[in-house]
């Protein structure tokens, strides 16, 4: 089972460039999440999608947009990348509400120069 | 305010020694409780969870955790640590009423190093 697949695994951008991070899950989960992980700050929720067709802001949504393309796919877009968005980005999914165990992808390591 | 505290940022233990990682939470009601592990360069993997029932829960890789309501704690333990346990460990809590709150609250993590 692939589980949660994130692409790309690594990316370097210049300030001002745009980028879409892709996430797909093959577990027929309803809910999907985007987190960023920074040293000393743990995991912070950027956006989530409780079900296909819905998206909601998390703790740190500024500078990001998301699309729940279908039940499997949930993408994260940086329209104009900033150095402060250098981070490791994780996608996760749950069968239903977030109080169920979350399944994580391996992350996208994004550097913005 | 709701919060999760992992008091130890970094812990070093010798291989074969016992381990306890602390997790304290502040929440309006008894939440669902989770421990996740993150190996270097990997995503997070669920170790164990507490929803209800027996307050001592068993997880994967020989880990266990005990929920203590009176102390608002959910500490993770392992009797004998292996070198492969070196990783980052995260505690998280979630509402039992997920219809109103779809966000887990995460601790900042404890980094575990294992000496040979």
d(CA B86, CA B65): 18
Rounded Cα–Cα distance for residues B46 and A70 (Å): 25
H or E stretch at B24: strand B24-26
Least trusted range by pLDDT, from A21-30, A84-93, B94-103: B94-103
For an interface test with B, give the residue of A91, A101, A107 to mutate (most B CBs within 10 A): A101
The two tokens of residue B90 are 């995260």
Question: CB within 8 A of B54, min separation 6: which ones?
Answer: none
Tens-level pLDDT at each residue, chain B (116 residues): 789 999 999 999 999 999 999 999 998 788 899 999 999 888 999 999 998 888 999 999 999 999 999 999 999 999 999 999 999 999 999 877 755 456 788 999 999 999 98
Looking up tokens 């392992």 gives: B78
A74-86 burial, b at 16+ Cβ within 10 Å, e below that, comes to bbbebeebeeebb
Instruction: Determine whether the interchain pair A102/B98 forms a contact, defined as Cβ–Cβ distance below 8 Å.
Output: no
Say yes or no for a CB contact (<8 Å) between B43 and A105: yes
Calpha distance A102→B72 (Å, rounded): 22
Of the pLDDT bands very low, low, confident and very high (cuts 50, 70, 90), residue A40 is confident
* pLDDT on residue A1: 62
The DSSP annotation for chain A comes to: ---EEEE-SEEEE-TT--EEEEEEESS--SEEEEEEEETTTEEEEEEEESSTT--EE-S--TTEEEEE-SSSBEEEEESS--GGG-EEEEEEEESSSTTSPPEE---EEEEE-
Mutate to test the interface with B, among A6, A27, A56, A99 (most CBs of B within 10 A): A99
> A84 falls in which pLDDT band (50, 70, 90)?
very high
Joined tokens for residue A8: 């790309």
Smallest CA-to-CA distance from B81 within B113, B34, B37 is with: B113
Per-residue confidence (pLDDT) for residue B1, from 0 to 100: 77
A47-51, A82-86, A107-111, B84-88: segment of lowest average pLDDT: A47-51
Contact A107 B106 (CB under 8 A): no
- Inter-CA distances, B36 with A18, B59, B88, Å: 32, 10, 8
Distance from C-alpha of A70 to C-alpha of A76, rounded to nearest angstrom = 14
């Amino acid at each position: 089972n692939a589980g949660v697949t994130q692409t790309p695994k690594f990316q370097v951008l210049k300030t001002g460039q745009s980028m879409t991070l892709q996430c797909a899950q093959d577990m027929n989960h309803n809910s999907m999440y985007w987190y960023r992980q920074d040293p000393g700050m743990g995991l912070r929720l950027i956006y989530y999608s409780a079900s296909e067709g819905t998206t909601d802001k998390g703790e740190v949504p500024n500078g990001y947009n998301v699309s729940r393309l279908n039940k499997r796919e949930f993408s994260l877009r940086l329209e104009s990348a900033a150095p402060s968005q250098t981070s490791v980005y994780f996608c996760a999914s749950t069968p239903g509400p977030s109080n169920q165990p979350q399944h994580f992808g391996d992350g996208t390591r994004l550097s913005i120069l | 305010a709701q919060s999760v505290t992992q008091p130890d940022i970094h812990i070093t233990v010798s291989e074969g020694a016992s381990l306890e990682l602390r997790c304290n939470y502040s929440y309006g009601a008894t939440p669902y409780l989770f421990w996740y592990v993150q190996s270097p360069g990997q995503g997070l993997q669920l170790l164990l969870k507490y929803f209800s029932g027996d307050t001592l829960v068993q997880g994967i890789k020989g880990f266990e955790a005990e929920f203590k309501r009176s102390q608002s704690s959910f500490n993770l333990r392992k009797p004998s640590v292996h070198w492969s346990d070196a990783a980052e460990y995260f505690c998280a809590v979630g509402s039992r009423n997920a219809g109103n709150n779809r966000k887990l609250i995460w601790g900042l993590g404890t980094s575990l190093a294992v000496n040979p």
